[in-house]
Structure 1
């Protein structure tokens, strides 16, 4: 018998037993759909977590700061050597370590206000660093790029959103006084807050906001006129309300030194910077960020840096912890799907065993006509495989409906924020063959016992009884 003959015989038998076939297919479909949905859940969560980690926490980066003082700091001599301090010599040494893709010094300054075209904006965190290293650390520029001039600044996309315009605010107040609906006014204000203002190549006036702890007030420092030479690209898949709150900016180390000096002078040299975090030979920095060529070398490089008595911080353990949690989620969903397939396999065994009993006369006639044991077994195995194939294809269709329904329900209960990724769950192409494979294997394995039992049927006895 050829394979086409086996397929034709198996298909004819499935059509004759419509109810039993439909029940078996439904059982396999539910099991395979559970596996597909489980893998889709894991893949979607993994994709989302990696996207969030690549935006917030980069596993291939190392942050280095001055170490904690030990016995050397207890000598009482302020001029004594302090090997735990982050110095230019140590930075140059780290720069030559293997697997170091890029290195940048960073000084973090907080709380700035700027004016541009009579609009006021804010910068929560300003970083003084080598601007040419920004692309190496994953900062993609939407407009412009680094400049050799010191009086320049690069803004994040969020820093260009939500600018406050006094004239526009007054017009809104007039509209509200004229009877404009409050909900409509609030919605219009919210929509305008998400619009990025064109600031590329414009001059802004940057003013530090210095907090006076003894007075409990905040004062404005010396204003600095700067030119915006670059705007970072808007992060993909991140909601606009999250992007709007990420108001950061980057300036050169020389400009960072001027800003820090002006802030210390205004604040009476209080606690804005410390001598342990500043280098007299290379400018101002309180930490160094290192881009590693591959995250697998982070631990090795971390051990080398620690030998310099410096403090090292990485995000590798966070990624490992998240991956372990995702594995648990996948195992739970996958276990549910395997259990359902196991239950479905029992139904196939029962159905095929009943079919063997009902088809004893057919089997006996086939043996009398010369069919051997292998052909009888193959006939039942192909029939079981057809059940698995039909159940798997139905399960794939069912899984798409389930994922679509979950996405619709989530979007209805929690409407998507502007700029956020609309598709929450998705099915990767590689998941479909896996679900189909499990379904077919369930059918094949479930058909082994009925096939063996059918092949052992005595031909003469079966013909006499029927």
Structure 2
């Protein structure tokens, strides 16, 4: 039997009992639409979560810290935040020395590796009568743009005697002599203004000694929801000189190393591999990519659960297809016998009934794809509108559901396959009927 004849015969047989076929197809439509809608919801939630994370974190970034717990004497507590002016480097510990940094830079796939230090000096930033206490961060680079911090105003170039301030730190000035009930003073316009950074240290007899450093604010960073918002960025060489003044001795980076190393991978897909290599070298590396992987694993499980719910509906529809095809065989037994008496082979009969079952699955899948896609689009609009109205601060969600091209195609193929499998037993039963017995069937 030619394919064109088989197709015409299948369509004719499906059209003979439109009501029964429509009801059976409806079950497939519901199941397919449920699969598309629920999986699209899971994909949309995953896409929204990862896009929000990308907005606040560079997924190619790896933060590397020294391993202070590797010495033979056991873990050594070392302060690495503001106020830390000393570090310990017993034998066996992995410190971020210049030699170690060059070793990490040499790893394949590393775009850059730049030291960054919390400046271990107590300091107050002053503009006229106003004061501020930002975190002091020293970076070993001439241009802060390499870290991709968003810029609100000014430049990211760091030259001697200049500084760049974070968005939150730029708005936290206060008057220490302000009286209760007095209106707070307006925040100063810092861009290209000269400010005073008053460094403080204490002598052995408890006397405070200060040193004033004049800085020019050349850039103000936009809000990035990171430690940069509350920081004042300065050059590493200047910050090192301040720490040496606070300690009263020179700093040997070959012995003490740096507090932190910012590593950036060329390819986001290699971030986790690079982090593992750095950890294997004895340092402590962390990256936002690990959080993304955890999010993806969670939403993968969610998508499987959602898809399973839709698959249950398709399973129920498959039972309906099997029932419809079984009833069709009972009603058309004499017709099958006549076809076989006229020369139709078992393969021809099998092809006809499998084609009818697959046709029901295909039609149902087609309708389910259309309804599921429209439902996904409508749910996306409604959910985004609602979530945007409920959001309090932060960027609003951009995606509630997401339907990639492969999902409708997969759902259509899966529905057709379900129909084909459901009709397999009835089709085999029809193909194996004995022509004489079929012709005598009442």
1:125-147 deviation per Cα after TM superposition (whole angstroms, max 9, x unaligned): 55321345756555466887643
Contact kept in structure 1, 2:43 and 2:299, CA below 8 Å: no
Tell me the residue number matched to 2:101: 91
1:449 aligns with 2:432: no
Q: Relative to structure 1, is the Cα distance of residues 243 and 391 closer, same or farther in structure 2, using a 3 angstrom cutoff?
A: farther
Q: How many residues align?
A: 403
Residue 358 of structure 2 corresponds to residue 390 of structure 1: no
Q: Secondary structure at the match of 2:4?
A: helix
| Equivalent residue for 1:428, pick from 404, 408, 430 | 404
Q: CA distance change for structure 1 residues 288 and 455 in 2, over 3 Å: closer, same or farther?
A: same
Check the 8 A contact 2:198/2:213 in 1, yes or no. Answer: yes
Counterpart of 1:415 in 2: which secondary structure?
A: helix
Which sits farther off after the overlay, 390-399 or 145-154?
A: 145-154
Say whether the 8 Å CA contact 1:150–1:252 is kept in structure 2: yes
Q: Is the 8 A contact 1:253 1:284 kept in 2?
A: no
1:415 aligns with 2:425: no
CA contact (8 A) 2:87 2:256 kept: no
Partner SS state of residue 50, structure 2: helix
Which residue of 414, 436, 439 corresponds with 1:438?
A: 414
Could you say which residue in structure 2 is the equivalent of 1:228? 218
> 2:164, 2:145 → 1: CA distance?
12
Structure 1 equivalent of residue 185 of structure 2: none
1:303 to 258, 276, 280: 280
Partner-residue secondary structure (3-state), 2:66: strand
Q: Matched residues in 2 for 1:79 and 1:416: separation?
A: 47
2:90 aligned to which of 79, 82, 98? 82
Return the alpha-carbon distance in structure 2 between the equivalents of residues 460 and 127 of structure 1.
93
- TM-superposed deviation, 1:439: 0.9
In 2, the alpha carbon distance for the partners of 1:311 and 1:60 equals 14
Contact 2:34 2:372 in 1 (8 A): yes
Aligned residue in 2 for 1:194:
none
- Cα distance in 2 for partners of 1:45, 1:204 equals 47
Secondary structure of 2:113's aligned partner: strand
CA drift at 1:10: 2.3
State the TM-score, normalizing by the size of structure 1.
Answer: 0.68
How far residue 287 of structure 1 moved from its aligned partner, in angstroms, is 1.3
C-alpha distance in 2, partners of 1:16/1:352?
13
**Shift in alpha-carbon separation, 1:66–1:447, aligned structure 2, 3 A:** closer
Unaligned runs of 5+ in 1: 167-196, 213-219, 236-241
How far is 1:59 from its partner? 6.5
- 8 A Cα contact 2:97 2:258, kept in partner: no
Corresponding residue number in structure 1 for 2:183: none
Match of 1:355 in 2: 328
Match of 1:175 in 2: none
Shift of 1:313: 4.0
Structure 2 residue 259 is matched with structure 1 residue 286? yes
Q: Is the 8 A contact 1:155 1:249 kept in 2?
A: yes
Query: Is residue 140 of structure 2 the alignment partner of residue 130 of structure 1?
Result: yes
Structure 2: tracts of 5 or more residues without a match: 76-85, 176-187, 203-209
Q: Identify the residue that residue 21 of structure 2 maps to in structure 1.
A: 21
CA contact under 8 A between 1:123 and 1:248: conserved in structure 2? no
Map 1:214-225; keep pairs closer than 5 Å.
Answer: 224-225=214-215
Equivalent runs, 1:49-198 vs 2, <5 Å: 49-54=49-54, 55-56=56-57, 58=59, 61-65=62-66, 67-68=68-69, 70-71=71-72, 82-83=90-91, 84=93, 85-108=95-118, 127-131=137-141, 137-139=147-149, 146-147=156-157, 149-154=159-164
